[in-house]
Amino acid sequence: MSNPRPLLYLIDAYAIIYRSYYAFIRSPRVNSKGLNTSAMFGFTNTLLDVINNSKPTHLAVAFDVSGPVFRNNDFEAYKANREETPDDIKLSIPFIRQIVEAFNIPILEYEGYEADDVIGTIAKTAEKNGFDVYMVTPDKDFGQLVTDHIKIFRPGRQGNEHEILGIKEVCEKFEIKRPDQVIDILGLWGDAVDNIPGIPGIGEKTAKKLLADFDTVEGVIANADKLKGKMKENVIAFADQALLSKKLATIITDVPVVFDPKALELEPPNKESLRALFGVLEFRTLAERLLGERISTPTRTTNGQMDLFATGDEQPQSSGKAAQENITELSPHALNVTQYSPEDTDYKLIETRDKRNTFVKELLKQKIVCFDTETTSVDANNADLVGMSFSWKEKQAFYIPFPENENAVKFILDDFRPFFENQNILKVGHNLKYDITVLHWYGIQVANPMYDTMLAHYLLQPDMRHGMDELSETYLGYRPISITSLIGKKGKDQRSMRDVPVDEVLPYACEDADITLRLYHLFSKQVQKQDGLEKLLKEVEMPLLPVLADMEATGIKIDLEALKKISEGLDEDTKQLESAIYALAGKKFNISSPKQLGVILFEDLKIADKAKKTKTGQYATNEETLQKHAEDHPIINLLLDYREVVKLKSTYVDALPGLLNPRDGRIHTTYMQAVAATGRLSSQNPNLQNIPVRTARGKEIRKAFIPSDKDHIIFAADYSQIELRLIAELSGDEGMMAAFIGGEDIHAATAAKVFDVPSEEVSREMRNKAKTVNFGIIYGISAFGLSQRIGISRSEAAELINNYFAKYPGIKQYMDNSISFARKHGFVETIMKRRRYLKDINAGNPTVRGFAERNAINAPIQGSAADMIKIAMIRIHHAMKQQGFKSKMMLQVHDELVFDALRSEIDKLSNLVINEMKNAIPHLKVPIKVDMDTGENWLEAH
């Protein structure tokens, strides 16, 4: 039996770098220095995936060399249309090269040639020398090189498996007979990305048909006389351009680069170099996985910017050149930080009644105390208390364990009631809402003042993560004891904290309180430095915390019988839709299988000439694609209906009963206060903000949310068009302000203006288009986006937007001013001074910059709306307590508040709610409108 062929993997560096960077474009990975590490992280993961799962014997990474390549000699405009490389990618390249070198992997590059050519040359040479070669790239051009022993390895994305493309897969993808015809496809069709011109008028489909008939570009040109009309003219007129395009698309396989098998052999990585690099980039999990150890990361100064040599008095830098220069100074060799050491800590156990009495006396003497709870569950409404820790001096903390018996726990907690109810002691914690919710179930109410370090950091750095462990590593240079080291990883074998011996819980719990206290000392100083931030924390975020805790503890009652009926109705809808879909398809198939559905739609029914395909080569059947074909075949709307029914049933109707709390049989959502950078709240378990309301079926789910008993009724109050009113306020546009002040229908008023017709002549279609423009403008909608949204041509959409700005010039001025302010300062602000940092606002790449510009426009509007409803919630909650209301505020969903209202209090409650919602932010020129209603369920009240 012959020896297996050695395996050589060749990685196309820039293709993987770009792919990694854009995979995180909506939620970039940023280290504490402010460096975007998305590209480095994605590239390293791909590298590890190849090494660990594919087991290559030989490995190399090919980079492009800066400067012109030989193709520019043939065609000066080659790749001239490419967008400028994003600044974050430019900053990533040196780090990625160091990562490759630290893995002891050779870098391949050759001046005047592209990485494609280097890979092509090495691949062909290696094949001749008995290797199996895999080219690691998502680039379609590499299909031309594929043979029995040279294949494409396309890395997986978003959790999907990688793909291997051999001869069969390449030929199927391009609908050609041989892989080398990929060059001919590109010669005829061109490639907009590389500015390869091809022949005008010939697209992908036509190119494939021509090659099926005439085999090559040369064959098409030679048979031009057999073609007809404009195609014939273009083939003849642009024959030389087609041949040039084919040449430009051809990957060179004779670059004068040396193939040295010995040098390409996979070697163990240099762990010291990787340790330093991963420390700078803050790849903690990768380091633990690869190196099997925890790494040190640079500490961060209290001004929110990590600076290894700063005094701590500097102000945060804005984005732009200065920030980039600051980032580039950081290197693996600059690591010289003082770390927080746990060795000299004083952590004590308070396990007896006498010790507890002495401890409480000392506790009540303090002005600032950090506390933390240890429990059996991450669900605060279903957790049992295991213990509590306290700290008021750094590196000193105390742990009080609790028995399993609930009455015994309450007995011990009663000793601590004077502390928790004391209004002169500042109670500090990290994610305090969890702790006060847990204590609520034991009859303990935590009184103000309170300070949450998670919320403080959320305001300082809204786009970063806010977990205590990560903040400890980032700001203190210390990695706390992991919870998994005590209870194990998630799964059936995970223990409860109740099962962990007290002597093991002691250092873990005390450490939490101690570290949180240290973070408080850091963050409280920095919050005071930033204009308006302390006011936002003290008057909005911190007062909102107990409001949300009360709402979570209150929960909402569910009508299980109503859910059952809704579920049965959805079952019936599913069966009817399945039958109708099968009838139109002419056969039964798995409707939920994208692959099978794609074949039905685009091969059997042929609903489109140009079918879009995914990266995996399957036909695209996502909702966006189906919506575009809604008019092409009656099966499409049935499919969209089917998907809605299936999602509603599985995600909500059938899931909600399983979320009932066993303590009270109610649903208790968890509000997340430190997630959305705009300041908006989000919810989970269940996510009540995602319950669909735009379709009749989606609305039906709200029927199941009911009042607590017959003496109560559901009362809902909803801000009307709040974001439009706020953009009118912020922009000061006279026309839009006048429409709101005059109580006009804003969408009809906008339609009358942009279509230049009297208000009485505005049609429903005009109003709908105007409504889309009104809300689209807030999110920086483009002409292309608007054309897709309302089904008009791009030129019509552009004209509509231009008319809008002509009629509302103040809106355009606001947008320009917001972008200009962001470019100068690196952030934008809400009315309440909530900041949204926009590090890419001055990026050279227009795609990246565009994301930041849209946020510059939208963040002040959406953030101000978020602040407004938060302030209203605080005031309503306070007034209800002060006035002894028995009604309860239960839910906040976007711009809506939902109450379990005592029927006898409804008039008084509605007056209170409307007044506080309207006047949450005083002295606005644009009137704030609040819609309200009541009902026997949430649907009736909405």
Model pLDDT for residues 142-163, shown as the tens digit of each residue: 988 999 999 999 887 655 677 8
Contact 397, 390 (CB under 8 A): yes
Tell me what pLDDT residue 478 has. Answer: 80
Token pair for 742: 């005059």
Per-residue pLDDT at 78 exceeds 60: no
- Give the C-alpha separation, 600 to 604, whole Å: 5
C-alpha angle 281-285-291 in degrees, rounded to nearest 5: 90
Which residue, 691, 692, 600, 678, is CA-closest to 639?
600
Residue type, 644: E
- Give the C-alpha separation, 792 to 624, whole Å: 16
Token pair for 834: 């909530």
Pairing of strands 557-558, 705-706: antiparallel
State the average pLDDT over residues 898-909.
96
Tell me what pLDDT residue 341 has. Answer: 55
Token pair for 86: 């994003």
C-alpha angle 528-523-444 in degrees, rounded to nearest 5: 105
Burial of 699 (0-12, 13-18, 19+ CB in 10 A): middle
Contact 714, 935 (CB under 8 A): yes
Who wins on pLDDT, 525 or 239?
A: 525
Tell me what pLDDT residue 936 has. Answer: 95
Which residue, 874, 520, 471, 463, is CA-closest to 675?
463
- Give the C-alpha separation, 206 to 208, whole Å: 5
Which residue, 707, 669, 706, 708, is CA-closest to 689?
669
Token pair for 771: 């409504």
Highest mean pLDDT (candidates 71-75, 290-294, 577-581, 693-697) = 577-581
Residue 85 CA: distances (Å) to CA of 14, 319, 844: 11, 17, 7
Please compute Rg for the chain using Cα positions.
Answer: 32
Under the banding of pLDDT at 50, 70 and 90, the label for residue 342 is low
DSSP state of 695: S
Under the banding of pLDDT at 50, 70 and 90, the label for residue 300 is very low
Residue for token pair 């820039």? 14
- Give the C-alpha separation, 598 to 388, whole Å: 56
Interval 773-829: pLDDT, tens: 888 887 778 777 777 777 777 888 888 888 888 888 999 999 999 999 999 999 999
DSSP state of 30: B
- Give the C-alpha separation, 276 to 296, whole Å: 8
Determine phi and psi for 401, rounding to 5 degrees. -80, 155
pTM: 0.72
- Give the C-alpha separation, 846 to 25, whole Å: 13
Pairing of strands 896-902, 888-893: antiparallel
State the average pLDDT over residues 603-614.
77
Interval 388-404: pLDDT, tens: 999 999 999 999 999 99
Interval 927-941: pLDDT, tens: 999 999 999 999 999
Rounded to the nearest 10 degrees, how much is the dihedral formed by the CA atoms of 868, 317, 452, 857? Answer: 20
State the DSSP H helix or E strand holding residue 152, giving kind and residue range, or none if neither. Answer: strand 150-154
- Give the C-alpha separation, 366 to 460, whole Å: 27
Token pair for 608: 């489109």
- How many CB atoms sit inside 10 A of residue 228's CB? 8
Find residue 557's DSSP bridge partners: 706
Mean of the per-residue pLDDT values for the chain? Answer: 84
Token pair for 884: 């002894």
Tell me what pLDDT residue 616 has. Answer: 63
Per-residue pLDDT at 71 exceeds 70: no
Q: Lowest-confidence range among 288-297, 492-501, 639-648?
A: 288-297
Tell me what pLDDT residue 311 has. Answer: 27
Determine phi and psi for 934, rounding to 5 degrees. -125, 165
Three-state DSSP class for 398?
A: strand
Interval 88-111: pLDDT, tens: 888 888 899 999 999 999 999 887
- Give the C-alpha separation, 621 to 603, whole Å: 13
DSSP state of 472: I
Who wins on pLDDT, 180 or 450?
A: 450
C-alpha angle 196-202-208 in degrees, rounded to nearest 5: 100
Find residue 165's DSSP bridge partners: 152
Sheet holding 150-154, edge to edge: 107-108, 58-62, 7-12, 132-136, 150-154, 163-165
Tell me what pLDDT residue 844 has. Answer: 76
- Give the C-alpha separation, 843 to 36, whole Å: 12
Contact 898, 941 (CB under 8 A): yes
Q: Lowest-confidence range among 203-207, 219-223, 315-319, 789-793?
A: 315-319
Per-residue pLDDT at 489 exceeds 90: no
Determine phi and psi for 414, rounding to 5 degrees. -60, -30
Under the banding of pLDDT at 50, 70 and 90, the label for residue 280 is confident
Pairing of strands 930-935, 712-719: antiparallel
Three-state DSSP class for 406?
A: helix
Find residue 107's DSSP bridge partners: 61
Tell me what pLDDT residue 516 has. Answer: 96
Tell me what pLDDT residue 103 has. Answer: 93
Tell me what pLDDT residue 486 has. Answer: 82
Q: Lowest-confidence range among 301-315, 524-538, 730-744?
A: 301-315
Contact 911, 685 (CB under 8 A): no
Burial of 583 (0-12, 13-18, 19+ CB in 10 A): exposed
Tell me what pLDDT residue 302 has. Answer: 35
State the DSSP H helix or E strand holding residue 108, giving kind and residue range, or none if neither. Answer: strand 107-108
Q: What share of the chain is helix, strand, coil (3-state, %, to 5)?
A: 50, 10, 35
In the chain the first and final C-alpha atoms are separated, in Å, by: 75
- How many CB atoms sit inside 10 A of residue 124's CB? 19
Under the banding of pLDDT at 50, 70 and 90, the label for residue 606 is confident
Per-residue pLDDT at 382 exceeds 90: no
State the average pLDDT over residues 372-380.
92
Token pair for 424: 């002169």
Who wins on pLDDT, 289 or 61?
A: 61
Tell me what pLDDT residue 507 has. Answer: 92
Contact 363, 413 (CB under 8 A): no
Find residue 714's DSSP bridge partners: 900, 935
Which residues have C-beta within 8 Å of that of residue 31, sequence separation ≥ 6? 37, 280, 281, 282, 306
Which residues have C-beta within 8 Å of that of residue 499, sequence separation ≥ 6? 487
Find residue 60's DSSP bridge partners: 10
Under the banding of pLDDT at 50, 70 and 90, the label for residue 475 is confident
Residue type, 195: N
Tell me what pLDDT residue 297 has. Answer: 57
Residue type, 845: N
Buried b (16+ CB within 10 A) or exposed e, 531-547: eebbebbeebbbbbbbb
Per-residue pLDDT at 518 exceeds 90: yes
Q: What percent of the chain has pLDDT over 90?
A: 45
Q: What percent of the chain has pLDDT over 70?
A: 90
Pairing of strands 396-401, 385-393: antiparallel
Pairing of strands 132-136, 705-706: unpaired
Token pair for 609: 């000439």
